[in-house]
Structure 1
Amino acid sequence: MSHWERIVVELLEVVGALGLAFLFGIAIYVLGSFALTGSYTTRRAFGSSFRAVFREATLAVLTQPLLPLFYVLGYRMDRFLARRGREGLTQAGVPVVSHVPIVFVHGYMQNRVGFLGLARALAHRGFGPLYGFNYPWLASIASNAGRLDRFVDRVIRETGAAKVDIVCHSMGGLVATEMMRAAALKKDGTSAPLKVRRCVTIATPHAGIVWRGPIFGLGSASLRRGSKLLETQAGQMLAVPCLSIYSAHDNIVYPKETSSLVKRGGRDFEVEHHAHLAILFSPKVADAVATFLAEPDASPPKKGADPV
C-alpha cells in the first residue's frame, strides 16, 4: 500500500468513526428524551410513537451536520429558498403576502439551520424578507436578548421597515420575550415604541422545563421552572400579538401547558405527534404561522398592561 493510499484509508477510518459517534449521539438524544417524557405527555399508540421517534431521528441526522455551515449561511434565509420578482411575486409565482421582515430565533444548542423547512414554507407563501439570527446559546438569556434587539435594529435599518415579525423555537422564544420586555421600557420607566409587530413561539418553555438534570450555559438556570426570569415574564401581559405553538408529544418541553401564553394575553395552538425538532418541519405548523402573520394588525394593548 502506497503512502497516499494509507492516508486515504486513515481518513476514511476517521470519518467513519466520527459518523458512528454522531449517529450514537443522535440515538442517545432521541431515545433518552422520549423515555424521560414519562407521564408528562399525552399517551398514544405504539405506531404513532415509533413514527415520531423515526421522524425526529431522521430530521436530526439531516440537519445537525449542517450546523457549522449555517453559522456562515442563512443571514438572509429567503435568498436561497424563494426569490422575489419585480412584479411582487415569489419565484413560484405566489403573490407577496407581507413585506414585514421576519426574524427567526433558534433554540438551545442550535442555530438558524433549524428553520430551513419553515423558512421555505413561508417564502413560498409570499412572506419576507426572512432573516436568521444566530446567538451564543451558552450566554445568558438577558445578554442574548440584547443581541437580538441590536439585530432587529439592523434589520429595520436595512429594510426601512417600521417593525419586524419574530418566529422563535424553544429557548429562542424566551430570548425574544425578554428582548421585548426590556426594550419596551426606557430608563425612566416609561414605555418605548416596540419594534416587533407579531411574535410566534414554537415549543418554548414559557413556564420552564421540568428536567432537573445538568444543563450547560449561563442561561440554564433561567430555563428551569420557577426561575426569576420566568417568574418576571409570567407576571406581565404581552405587549404584542403572540402565538404559542406547541406539541402534546414534545420530547423536551413538557407538559404541554408549560408553553401556554393564554393567561398573558397570547394565543395557543396545539399539535400532536411532533417532537421538539420535527415540529419545525410540520406543514400544519407552517400553516398556523402563516395564518397568524397574515392577520390584520391588532389594536394597541390596553393601558396599564405591563409589556413583555
Structure 2
Amino acid sequence: MAVAAALSFGLGTAVPASAATQQDLNATIKAGLEKPVADDVILGGSSTWKTPTGSGRPEDDFWKAFGNGLRAPDVAPPGANDWNCTPSDGQEPVVLVHGTWENAYDNWAYLAPNLKRAGMCVYALNYGILGLAQGGGLGSVLPGAYGTGDIAQSATQLAAFVDRVRSSTGASKVNIVGHSQGGLMARQYLKFDGGADKVDQLVTLGATNHGTTLLGIGALGRTINNAGIDVLGPVALGVGVSGIQQVYDSQFLKKLNAGGDTVPGVKYTIIASRYDEVTTPYQSTFLQGPDVRNITLQDGCGIDTSDHLAMSYSKRAVSIVLNTFGAKIATTPGGPAVPVPVVCGPNAWLIG
C-alpha cells in the first residue's frame, strides 16, 4: 500500500506496530458472522505501464526522492535501464518493482545505484498506471502515483518487462526486488504469468503478502463487507483498485495464496520492519516455504527504525539485498573481493 496508507498516519513517534490488538479485533467481529457475502470491488478501466528513461539523481532519503519524482515521475532511477548492459558472469539482471502510489524513481533512487556500483544490470518499470475516473484512487491525481491498477493486470505488465530484460541481456533468469505491492505483484507473476521459470530470486521489502489490516482498519472493513454491508466499495474510490486488493482476506489474496506461498525453483528473501505502519501486522509479510528466508531489520540492529516507506532507503536493507545477490567488495586496495557484509545503521521512521 506504500504511500497511500503511510501518508494517512502522518508523523509521530516511532513505535513497533502491535499485532495482537488487530488480530483480536478481527477475530472477535468475525466470530459473529456466518459467511462472507461480498466480493472485491474492481472498478472499470485498464491500466498502462511505462519504461522510465534518462537518469534521476541519487538520493538516500525517501522524501527527497518523492519530491524529485513529483517533478519528473518517469525518469529512471540512477543506474537503471541501461539497455546496453551485459551481466557479469554468475549474476542475473535485477528488476525493481515499486509499490502503490510510488514509481520506479522515488522507490529506488537509493538501491538502484548501489546495485549498479556492484556491477549489476538494473532495470525498473512504472506499472499499474490508472486514472482517478478509472478507479486509480485519489492518489492517482499526483504525478507519478502509480501502481493503482488491478494487480493481476499489473503482473502481465511485469511479465512483458522481464521478457524485454531477458532479451536485451541474454540472461535466462532475473532477480526481482519488490517493495510493498511490488513484492505481492511479483508473486502473482511467478504463480500465474510464467515467472517461475524466469526468476531466480525474489526479495521483498514490506510486501503485503497476506494483506494488511492497516492497523486494524482494513480488517474491520473486510469483516463488515463480508457481513453484506459494502464499505470497501466507497473506500476503493479513495485508495484505488490495488489498495482494496491488498486488504486482509480479499478475494485476490485468497486466490494468490491458495495452495502455498511459494513456487518451486525460486528463492525468497522476505524483509520486514517492526515499525511498518502499512503492512500490519508486520509479520504478515513473511512467507512459508522450503526456500524462504524471513528477516526482520531490527534483529541485530535496533537503531534501524525504518517504517514502510523508509525501508528501501535503509542501509541495512540495501546491504541484505546486495549480499543476497552475491555482490562483492574489496576490503583493501588490490585485495581479494569478499561478499558485501550486512551492515547496521540508523534509518529514521517516516523521515528516512
TM range (shorter): 0.5 to 0.7
In the TM superposition, residue 233 of structure 1 has moved relative to its aligned partner by: 2.6
Deviates more, 1:269-278 or 1:144-153: 269-278
1:242 matched to 2:268: yes
1:197 matched to 2:200: yes
Deviates more, 1:267-276 or 1:170-179: 267-276
Residue type at the aligned position of 1:67 = G
Per-residue CA distance 1:257-290 (angstroms, 9 max, x = gap): 1110134742111113211121111111112111
1:284 matched to 2:316: yes
Counterpart among 251, 255, 268 of residue 232 in structure 1? 255
Counterpart among 153, 159, 170 of residue 169 in structure 2? 159
Aligned-residue RMSD, C-alpha: 3.2
1:258 matched to 2:284: yes
Cα 1:39/1:145, change in 2 over 3 Å: same
Counterpart among 104, 120, 125 of residue 118 in structure 2? 125
Per-residue CA distance 1:148-204 (angstroms, 9 max, x = gap): 0001011111111111111010001111000111123xxxxxxx8611111111110
Separation in structure 2 between the aligned mates of residue 148 and residue 245 of structure 1, nearest angstrom: 21
Counterpart among 89, 97, 100 of residue 105 in structure 1? 97
- Is this contact kept in 1: 2:210–2:284, CA < 8 A? yes
- Is this contact kept in 2: 1:253–1:276, CA < 8 A? yes
1:39 matched to 2:18: yes
- Is this contact kept in 1: 2:159–2:193, CA < 8 A? yes
Q: Which of the two has higher C-alpha Rg?
A: 1
Aligned residue in 2 for 1:207: 210
Gaps of 5+ in 2: 1-5, 21-59, 130-146, 219-234, 299-304, 328-352
Per-residue CA distance 1:189-243 (angstroms, 9 max, x = gap): xxx8611111111110111010236352222222011112222232323331011
Separation in structure 2 between the aligned mates of residue 97 and residue 120 of structure 1, nearest angstrom: 20
Aligned-residue sequence identity (percent) comes to 26
1:77 matched to 2:100: no
Separation in structure 1 between the aligned mates of residue 12 and residue 100 of structure 2, nearest angstrom: 17
Cα 1:69/1:238, change in 2 over 3 Å: farther
Deviates more, 1:208-217 or 1:155-164: 208-217
Question: Secondary structure of 1:167's partner?
Answer: strand
Question: Secondary structure of 1:67's partner?
Answer: helix
- Is this contact kept in 2: 1:163–1:197, CA < 8 A? yes
Aligned residue in 1 for 2:192: 182
What's the TM-score, normalizing by structure 1?
0.67
Q: Which has the higher contact order (CA 8 A, sep 6+)?
A: 2
- Is this contact kept in 1: 2:174–2:200, CA < 8 A? yes
Separation in structure 1 between the aligned mates of residue 172 and residue 273 of structure 2, nearest angstrom: 32
Cα 1:77/1:132, change in 2 over 3 Å: farther
Residue type at the aligned position of 1:246 = A
Residue type at the aligned position of 1:102 = V
Counterpart among 216, 219, 225 of residue 239 in structure 2? 216
Aligned residue in 1 for 2:160: 150
Aligned residue in 2 for 1:270: 296
Separation in structure 2 between the aligned mates of residue 225 and residue 117 of structure 1, nearest angstrom: 30
Counterpart among 46, 64, 67 of residue 66 in structure 2? 64
Residue type at the aligned position of 1:222 = Q
- Is this contact kept in 1: 2:77–2:108, CA < 8 A? no
Separation in structure 1 between the aligned mates of residue 13 and residue 204 of structure 2, nearest angstrom: 21
Residue type at the aligned position of 2:104 = R
What's the TM-score, normalizing by structure 2?
0.59
Separation in structure 2 between the aligned mates of residue 293 and residue 71 of structure 1, nearest angstrom: 28
Separation in structure 2 between the aligned mates of residue 241 and residue 99 of structure 1, nearest angstrom: 15
Residue type at the aligned position of 1:77 = G
Aligned residue in 2 for 1:139: 149
Aligned residue in 2 for 1:5: none
Residue type at the aligned position of 1:262 = Q
- Is this contact kept in 2: 1:203–1:259, CA < 8 A? yes
Per-residue CA distance 1:56-80 (angstroms, 9 max, x = gap): xx93431211224553321773479
